Structure 1
Amino acid sequence: MITYHVLIPTSPLWPQATTQIGAIDWPAGPHLAKRMQTPAVWQPFERIIYATTDDQLAGFCALLAEDIVPDTPYSPFVSSVYVAPDYRHQGISLRLVQQAETAAEAVDIEGLYIVTRHMGLYEHLDYALVDRREDQFGRLNRVLYKNFA
């Protein structure tokens, strides 16, 4: 059974999540884990959504003020949505995003952006295209937005 945890830097599971997120083979994981090692840079609304089964990482995403698209007027973001290979194709990525939405709404955020190159995934949750922008690596991404009102 997958358990979803909403973490802030003072959460007891923060160190475990940092280690496990940093160990994945997708570069966004170690990048996020490095940021997690500096709790002072976290804004009060920022969160990690950490999905586990027992003590194993099933997936994660982050609710962040900034994402990989520089110099943008957009904020906040659902960032770094990741599902471990053994848990893919079970709807976990969408559940992670829903958990981030709930965490955002709990701190009075009215909508979220997602930067992605995936087509059709986040549209299942009513995200809509608002822009196309290059990320910090020069890749063209879609910027999607969902208003919670």
Structure 2
Amino acid sequence: MITYHLLTPHSPAWATAASQIGAIDWPAGGHLAKLMQTATWQPWERVVYATDNGQLVGCCALMAEDIVPDTPYSPFVSTVYVNPDYRGQGISLHLVQQTETAAQAAGIDGLYIVTRHVGLYEHLDYELIDQRNDQFGRLNRILYKQL
């Protein structure tokens, strides 16, 4: 059974989540894990951490900044990841919805997503508002949703 956890740096599962997220085979996982271990988090920033019997199923984060530098946009749904064994079950969309709920609870009225995917987040009513290069020089789509 998949369990969704809404984590802050004060959560008991924070260190375990950072370790598991850092071990995924995607560079963004290592980046998020490093931020979890070293960055100062805003009071409203969160990590949504999905597990199945204590093992990482997926994650995403509610963050002030993402990989596209020097934008007027904030806050972001960032680092949406689902373990390959669990893909195709709608988990990524559920992770984003959990992040939206956390944002609303913090008084946030809109979220951005930086992605190269086409069609995934549009199912949750995100709309393309811009395209910009990320810190690696890759062209990304910037989507927005009013909450």
Q: Which runs of 5+ in 2 are unaligned?
A: none
C-alpha displacement at 1:38, in angstroms? 1.9
Q: What CA deviation, in whole Å up to 9, does each residue of 1:23-64 have, x standing for no partner? A: 01100001110110025x101110000000110000000000
Give the letter for the 1:15 counterpart. Answer: A
The residue that corresponds to 1:17 in the other structure is: 17
Corresponding letter in the other structure for 1:67: D
Q: Which amino acid aligns with 1:38?
A: T
Secondary structure, aligned partner of 1:79: strand
What are the Cα deviations for residues 68-107 of structure 1, in whole angstroms up to 9, with x where unaligned?
Answer: 0000000000000000011000000000000000000000
**Structure-to-structure mapping, 1:28-47, within 5 angstroms:** 28-39=28-39, 41-47=40-46
Superposed, 1:28-67 pairs within 5 Å as: 28-39=28-39, 41-67=40-66
Three-state SS of the structure 1 residue aligned to 2:93 is helix
Q: With structure 1 as the length reference, what TM-score do the two structures score?
A: 0.97
Specify the alignment match of 1:27 in structure 2. Answer: 27
Q: Structure 2 matches for 1:70-85, cutoff 5 A?
A: 70-85=69-84
Moved over 6 A (4+): none
Give the match's secondary structure for 2:17.
helix
Between 79-88 and 30-39, the greater mean CA deviation after superposition: 30-39
SS of equivalent residue, structure 1 residue 34: helix
Distance in 2 of aligned mates of 1:57 and 1:35: 18
Partner of 1:6: 6
Q: Extract unaligned runs of 5+ from structure 1.
A: none
List aligned pairs for 1:68-147, cutoff 5 A: 68-147=67-146
How far, CA to CA, are the matches of 2:53 and 2:78 in structure 1?
Answer: 24
CA-atom RMSD in angstroms:
0.6
Q: Provide TM-score, normalisation by structure 2.
A: 0.99
Distance in 1, Cα, partners of 2:31 & 2:118: 24
- AA partner of residue 49 (structure 1): V
